[in-house]
Structure 1
Protein backbone atom coordinates (compact mmCIF):
# COMPACT_ATOMS: atom_id res chain seq x y z
CA UNK A 1 0.00 0.00 0.00
CA UNK A 2 1.16 3.51 -0.76
CA UNK A 3 1.61 6.18 1.88
CA UNK A 4 1.51 9.98 1.90
CA UNK A 5 3.38 11.61 4.81
CA UNK A 6 2.37 15.07 5.98
CA UNK A 7 4.60 16.37 8.76
CA UNK A 8 4.84 19.48 10.87
CA UNK A 9 1.20 20.59 10.99
CA UNK A 10 1.31 23.19 13.77
CA UNK A 11 -1.44 25.08 15.52
CA UNK A 12 -2.16 26.73 18.86
CA UNK A 13 -4.84 24.93 20.85
CA UNK A 14 -6.46 24.57 24.24
CA UNK A 15 -6.41 20.84 25.00
CA UNK A 16 -4.78 19.91 28.28
CA UNK A 17 -5.42 18.55 31.73
CA UNK A 18 -4.11 21.54 33.66
CA UNK A 19 -6.38 24.61 33.97
CA UNK A 20 -3.67 26.87 32.53
CA UNK A 21 -3.43 24.66 29.44
CA UNK A 22 -7.11 25.18 28.74
CA UNK A 23 -6.99 28.89 29.58
CA UNK A 24 -3.66 29.93 28.05
CA UNK A 25 -3.28 27.23 25.39
CA UNK A 26 -0.13 25.82 23.85
CA UNK A 27 1.41 24.78 20.55
CA UNK A 28 0.74 21.34 19.13
CA UNK A 29 2.39 19.59 16.21
CA UNK A 30 0.87 16.75 14.20
CA UNK A 31 2.40 14.34 11.70
CA UNK A 32 0.14 12.03 9.68
CA UNK A 33 0.71 9.02 7.45
CA UNK A 34 -2.10 8.34 5.03
CA UNK A 35 -2.33 4.91 3.39
CA UNK A 36 -4.09 4.70 0.03
CA UNK A 37 -3.60 3.38 -3.47
CA UNK A 38 -2.03 6.08 -5.66
CA UNK A 39 -1.67 3.96 -8.81
CA UNK A 40 -4.60 5.60 -10.65
CA UNK A 41 -3.31 9.10 -9.88
CA UNK A 42 0.14 8.06 -11.10
CA UNK A 43 -1.39 7.13 -14.47
CA UNK A 44 -3.85 10.04 -14.87
CA UNK A 45 -1.80 12.77 -13.15
CA UNK A 46 -5.14 14.03 -11.81
CA UNK A 47 -5.63 15.27 -8.28
CA UNK A 48 -9.17 13.93 -8.32
CA UNK A 49 -7.64 10.43 -8.39
CA UNK A 50 -5.70 10.85 -5.16
CA UNK A 51 -5.98 12.60 -1.82
CA UNK A 52 -5.67 16.37 -1.82
CA UNK A 53 -3.67 16.63 1.38
CA UNK A 54 -4.47 20.34 1.71
CA UNK A 55 -7.87 19.29 3.05
CA UNK A 56 -6.20 17.08 5.68
CA UNK A 57 -3.93 19.93 6.79
CA UNK A 58 -6.93 22.26 7.13
CA UNK A 59 -8.92 19.63 9.03
CA UNK A 60 -6.12 18.93 11.51
CA UNK A 61 -5.43 22.63 12.11
CA UNK A 62 -9.14 23.28 12.66
CA UNK A 63 -9.38 20.46 15.21
CA UNK A 64 -6.25 21.62 17.05
CA UNK A 65 -7.54 25.19 17.28
CA UNK A 66 -11.18 24.50 18.17
CA UNK A 67 -11.04 21.36 20.33
CA UNK A 68 -10.88 21.74 24.09
CA UNK A 69 -10.36 18.33 25.67
CA UNK A 70 -8.70 17.42 28.95
CA UNK A 71 -6.55 14.71 27.39
CA UNK A 72 -4.46 14.53 24.23
CA UNK A 73 -5.70 10.94 23.91
CA UNK A 74 -9.16 12.32 23.10
CA UNK A 75 -7.72 14.87 20.69
CA UNK A 76 -5.59 12.41 18.72
CA UNK A 77 -8.43 9.90 18.32
CA UNK A 78 -10.72 12.73 17.17
CA UNK A 79 -8.12 13.72 14.57
CA UNK A 80 -7.63 10.15 13.29
CA UNK A 81 -11.37 9.42 13.11
CA UNK A 82 -12.05 12.73 11.35
CA UNK A 83 -9.35 12.07 8.75
CA UNK A 84 -10.78 8.63 7.96
CA UNK A 85 -14.27 10.14 7.69
CA UNK A 86 -12.97 12.88 5.37
CA UNK A 87 -11.52 10.61 2.71
CA UNK A 88 -13.00 7.31 1.52
CA UNK A 89 -9.77 6.47 -0.33
CA UNK A 90 -7.81 5.99 2.89
CA UNK A 91 -7.37 2.50 4.27
CA UNK A 92 -5.32 3.50 7.31
CA UNK A 93 -4.06 6.59 9.09
CA UNK A 94 -1.25 7.09 11.58
CA UNK A 95 -1.28 10.25 13.69
CA UNK A 96 1.53 11.51 15.90
CA UNK A 97 0.54 14.38 18.18
CA UNK A 98 3.32 16.27 19.95
CA UNK A 99 3.28 18.85 22.71
CA UNK A 100 6.61 20.61 22.06
CA UNK A 101 6.63 22.40 25.42
CA UNK A 102 4.90 20.25 28.00
CA UNK A 103 4.12 22.24 31.17
CA UNK A 104 6.00 19.91 33.49
CA UNK A 105 8.49 21.41 35.97
CA UNK A 106 12.15 20.62 35.27
CA UNK A 107 11.32 18.90 31.97
CA UNK A 108 12.46 20.42 28.71
CA UNK A 109 11.47 17.56 26.42
CA UNK A 110 8.46 16.84 24.26
CA UNK A 111 5.45 14.62 24.85
CA UNK A 112 4.17 12.62 21.86
CA UNK A 113 1.33 10.19 21.39
CA UNK A 114 1.04 7.95 18.32
CA UNK A 115 -1.97 5.97 17.09
CA UNK A 116 -2.88 3.98 13.99
CA UNK A 117 -6.47 3.55 12.88
CA UNK A 118 -7.65 1.30 10.06
CA UNK A 119 -10.89 1.62 8.17
CA UNK A 120 -13.19 -1.16 9.31
Structure 2
Protein backbone atom coordinates (compact mmCIF):
# COMPACT_ATOMS: atom_id res chain seq x y z
CA UNK A 1 0.00 0.00 0.00
CA UNK A 2 1.47 3.35 -0.98
CA UNK A 3 -1.45 5.66 -0.19
CA UNK A 4 -1.02 7.56 3.07
CA UNK A 5 -2.51 10.39 5.06
CA UNK A 6 -0.19 12.04 7.59
CA UNK A 7 -0.67 14.55 10.37
CA UNK A 8 2.57 15.87 11.82
CA UNK A 9 3.49 17.13 15.28
CA UNK A 10 0.21 17.63 17.08
CA UNK A 11 1.25 19.56 20.21
CA UNK A 12 -0.32 18.38 23.47
CA UNK A 13 0.42 19.15 27.08
CA UNK A 14 0.10 15.99 29.14
CA UNK A 15 1.28 14.14 32.24
CA UNK A 16 3.10 11.05 31.01
CA UNK A 17 6.30 9.73 32.51
CA UNK A 18 7.94 7.44 35.02
CA UNK A 19 9.16 10.18 37.34
CA UNK A 20 6.87 11.90 39.84
CA UNK A 21 7.73 15.36 38.49
CA UNK A 22 6.57 14.37 35.02
CA UNK A 23 3.18 13.22 36.25
CA UNK A 24 2.86 16.26 38.53
CA UNK A 25 4.18 19.12 36.37
CA UNK A 26 3.40 17.74 32.91
CA UNK A 27 5.19 18.57 29.69
CA UNK A 28 4.70 19.08 25.98
CA UNK A 29 4.56 16.13 23.61
CA UNK A 30 4.39 16.11 19.81
CA UNK A 31 2.40 13.31 18.24
CA UNK A 32 2.39 12.43 14.54
CA UNK A 33 0.56 9.70 12.70
CA UNK A 34 0.44 8.24 9.22
CA UNK A 35 -2.54 6.16 8.11
CA UNK A 36 -2.16 3.71 5.24
CA UNK A 37 -5.33 3.13 3.26
CA UNK A 38 -6.57 2.91 -0.29
CA UNK A 39 -7.31 6.47 -1.45
CA UNK A 40 -8.05 5.72 -5.11
CA UNK A 41 -11.86 5.75 -4.86
CA UNK A 42 -11.82 8.94 -2.78
CA UNK A 43 -9.61 10.66 -5.31
CA UNK A 44 -11.49 9.46 -8.36
CA UNK A 45 -14.90 10.35 -6.94
CA UNK A 46 -13.93 13.34 -4.76
CA UNK A 47 -15.91 11.55 -2.02
CA UNK A 48 -15.17 11.97 1.70
CA UNK A 49 -16.97 8.72 2.53
CA UNK A 50 -14.22 6.82 0.67
CA UNK A 51 -11.45 8.12 2.94
CA UNK A 52 -10.88 9.04 6.59
CA UNK A 53 -11.44 12.41 8.21
CA UNK A 54 -7.99 13.37 9.50
CA UNK A 55 -9.52 16.01 11.77
CA UNK A 56 -11.51 13.31 13.55
CA UNK A 57 -8.39 11.14 13.76
CA UNK A 58 -6.53 14.07 15.32
CA UNK A 59 -9.34 14.45 17.87
CA UNK A 60 -8.82 10.81 18.91
CA UNK A 61 -5.06 11.36 19.33
CA UNK A 62 -5.57 14.44 21.51
CA UNK A 63 -8.26 12.73 23.58
CA UNK A 64 -6.08 9.70 24.31
CA UNK A 65 -3.00 11.82 25.05
CA UNK A 66 -4.76 14.24 27.40
CA UNK A 67 -7.41 12.11 29.11
CA UNK A 68 -5.24 9.13 30.05
CA UNK A 69 -1.89 8.99 31.82
CA UNK A 70 0.91 6.65 30.86
CA UNK A 71 4.20 5.90 32.53
CA UNK A 72 5.77 5.08 29.17
CA UNK A 73 5.35 6.79 25.82
CA UNK A 74 5.29 3.25 24.44
CA UNK A 75 1.94 2.74 26.17
CA UNK A 76 0.66 6.05 24.80
CA UNK A 77 1.68 5.10 21.26
CA UNK A 78 0.10 1.63 21.49
CA UNK A 79 -3.18 3.04 22.77
CA UNK A 80 -3.32 5.70 20.05
CA UNK A 81 -2.59 3.11 17.35
CA UNK A 82 -5.28 0.75 18.70
CA UNK A 83 -7.90 3.52 18.97
CA UNK A 84 -7.21 4.72 15.41
CA UNK A 85 -7.39 1.22 13.94
CA UNK A 86 -10.60 0.47 15.86
CA UNK A 87 -12.23 3.79 15.06
CA UNK A 88 -11.37 4.06 11.38
CA UNK A 89 -12.07 0.76 9.59
CA UNK A 90 -10.72 1.95 6.22
CA UNK A 91 -7.22 2.26 7.70
CA UNK A 92 -5.04 -0.78 6.96
CA UNK A 93 -2.03 0.33 9.03
CA UNK A 94 -1.12 3.19 11.31
CA UNK A 95 2.25 4.61 12.26
CA UNK A 96 2.41 6.71 15.42
CA UNK A 97 5.38 8.83 16.43
CA UNK A 98 5.69 10.39 19.89
CA UNK A 99 8.26 13.10 20.58
CA UNK A 100 9.18 14.08 24.13
CA UNK A 101 11.41 17.16 23.89
CA UNK A 102 11.67 17.69 27.66
CA UNK A 103 12.62 14.10 28.48
CA UNK A 104 14.53 13.97 31.78
CA UNK A 105 18.01 13.02 30.63
CA UNK A 106 21.31 14.44 31.84
CA UNK A 107 22.49 15.55 28.41
CA UNK A 108 21.47 18.34 26.07
CA UNK A 109 19.07 16.81 23.54
CA UNK A 110 16.62 18.09 20.99
CA UNK A 111 14.02 15.40 21.61
CA UNK A 112 13.44 11.77 22.46
CA UNK A 113 11.06 9.96 20.15
CA UNK A 114 9.64 6.58 19.33
CA UNK A 115 7.72 5.34 16.35
CA UNK A 116 5.54 2.26 16.01
CA UNK A 117 3.56 0.77 13.12
CA UNK A 118 0.57 -1.48 13.70
CA UNK A 119 -1.43 -3.25 11.01
CA UNK A 120 -4.99 -4.44 11.02
CA UNK A 121 -4.98 -8.16 11.79
Q: TM-score range by the shorter chain?
A: over 0.9
Following TM superposition, the consecutive aligned residue runs of length 4 or more in structure 1 with deviations greater than 6 angstroms are: none
Q: Which residue of 1 aligns with 2:94?
A: 93
Question: How high is the TM-score relative to the length of structure 2?
Answer: 0.94
Count of residue correspondences: 120
Q: Which residue of 1 aligns with 2:111?
A: 110
Q: Deviations over 1:91-115 (max 9, x none)?
A: 0001110001212233332110110
SS in 1 for 2:97: strand
Q: Which residue of 1 aligns with 2:35?
A: 34
Give ranges in structure 1 of 5+ residues lacking alignment. Answer: none
CA distance in 2, matches of 1:31, 1:69: 17
CA RMSD of aligned residues (A): 1.0
For residue 11 of structure 1, report the CA deviation from its aligned partner.
0.5
Matched, 1:62 2:53: no
Q: Which residue of 1 aligns with 2:73?
A: 72
Q: Which residue of 2 aligns with 1:84?
A: 85
CA distance in 2, matches of 1:115, 1:83: 13
Give ranges in structure 2 of 5+ residues lacking alignment. Answer: none
For residue 5 of structure 1, report the CA deviation from its aligned partner.
1.1
Q: Which residue of 2 aligns with 1:10?
A: 11
CA distance in 2, matches of 1:95, 1:108: 21
SS in 2 for 1:105: coil
SS in 2 for 1:42: helix
SS in 2 for 1:41: helix
Q: Does the 8 Å contact 1:94/1:115 carry over to 2?
A: yes
Question: How high is the TM-score relative to the length of structure 1?
Answer: 0.95
For residue 38 of structure 1, report the CA deviation from its aligned partner.
0.6
